[in-house]
Amino acid sequence: MEHLPIMLNEVLDALSIKSDGIYVDGTFGRGGHSRAILNQLTTGHLVVFDQDERAIETAQKLSLEYPNKMTIIQSNFEHLNEKLDEYNIKGIDGILLDLGVSSPQFDDPSRGFSYRFDTRLDMRMNLNQSLDAYQVVNQYPFEKLMYIFQVYGEEKFAKQIARKIEKQREIKPIETSFELVDIIRSAYPSKVLKQKGHPAKQVFQAIRIEVNQELEVLKSVLDQAVNRLNPDGRLVILTFHSLEDRIVKQFFNKLTTIDVPSKIPLQVLPTTEFELVNRKVITSKEEELESNPRAHSAKLRAIRKR
Ligand SMILES: C[S@@+](CC[C@H](N)C(=O)[O-])C[C@H]1O[C@@H](n2cnc3c(N)ncnc32)[C@H](O)[C@@H]1O
pLDDT computed for residue 161 by the predictor: 98
Q: Residue with the nearest Cα to atom 13 of ligand 1?
A: 27
Q: Evaluate: CB of 98 within 6 angstroms of ligand 1.
A: yes
pLDDT computed for residue 197 by the predictor: 83
pLDDT computed for residue 21 by the predictor: 98
What distance in Å separates the CA atoms of residue 173 and residue 185, rounded to the nearest whole number?
Answer: 18
Q: Evaluate: CB of 30 within 6 angstroms of ligand 1.
A: yes
* Class of residue 201 by CB neighbours under 10 A (exposed 0-12, middle 13-18, buried 19+): middle
pLDDT computed for residue 212 by the predictor: 98
pLDDT computed for residue 259 by the predictor: 78
Q: Evaluate: CB of 295 within 6 angstroms of ligand 1.
A: no
Q: Is residue 202 within 8 Å of 149, Cβ to Cβ?
A: yes
Q: Which residues pair with 89 in a beta bridge?
A: none
* Other Cβ atoms closer than 10 A to 162: 24
pLDDT computed for residue 196 by the predictor: 73
Q: Evaluate: CB of 5 within 6 angstroms of ligand 1.
A: yes
For residue 137, report the distance from its CA to the centre of ligand 1, in Å: 24
From first to last of the 306 residues of the chain, give the pLDDT tens digit: 667 899 999 999 999 999 999 999 999 999 999 999 999 999 999 999 999 999 999 999 999 999 999 999 999 999 999 999 999 999 999 999 999 999 899 999 999 999 999 999 999 999 999 999 999 999 999 999 999 999 999 999 999 999 999 999 999 999 999 999 999 999 999 888 888 789 999 999 999 999 999 999 999 999 999 999 999 999 999 999 999 999 999 999 999 998 777 777 767 777 899 999 999 999 999 999 999 988 999 999 999 999
For residue 48, report the distance from its CA to the centre of ligand 1, in Å: 10
Q: Evaluate: CB of 113 within 6 angstroms of ligand 1.
A: no
For residue 258, report the distance from its CA to the centre of ligand 1, in Å: 33
Q: Mind listing the domains of the chain with CATH numbers?
A: 8-100+214-305 (3.40.50.150), 115-211 (1.10.150.170)
Angle between the 142-151 and 158-171 helix axes, to the nearest 10 degrees? 140
pLDDT computed for residue 1 by the predictor: 60
Taking the complete model, does pTM exceed 0.75, yes or no?
Answer: yes
Q: Hey, which bits of 160-298 come out as E strands?
A: 229-239, 274-276
Q: Residue with the nearest Cα to atom 2 of ligand 1?
A: 102
**Closest CA relative to residue 52, chosen from 131, 123, 118:** 123
pLDDT computed for residue 4 by the predictor: 86
For residue 28, report the distance from its CA to the centre of ligand 1, in Å: 5
Q: Evaluate: CB of 233 within 6 angstroms of ligand 1.
A: no
For residue 163, report the distance from its CA to the centre of ligand 1, in Å: 33
Q: Residue with the nearest Cα to atom 20 of ligand 1?
A: 76
Q: Residue with the nearest Cα to atom 8 of ligand 1?
A: 32
pLDDT computed for residue 219 by the predictor: 98
For residue 115, report the distance from its CA to the centre of ligand 1, in Å: 20
Q: Residue with the nearest Cα to atom 27 of ligand 1?
A: 29
If DSSP states are collapsed to H, E and C, what string results for 40-109? CCCCCEEEEEECCHHHHHHHHHHHHHCCCCEEEEECCHHHHHHHHHHCCCCCEEEEEEECCCCHHHHHCH
For residue 31, report the distance from its CA to the centre of ligand 1, in Å: 9
For residue 201, report the distance from its CA to the centre of ligand 1, in Å: 20
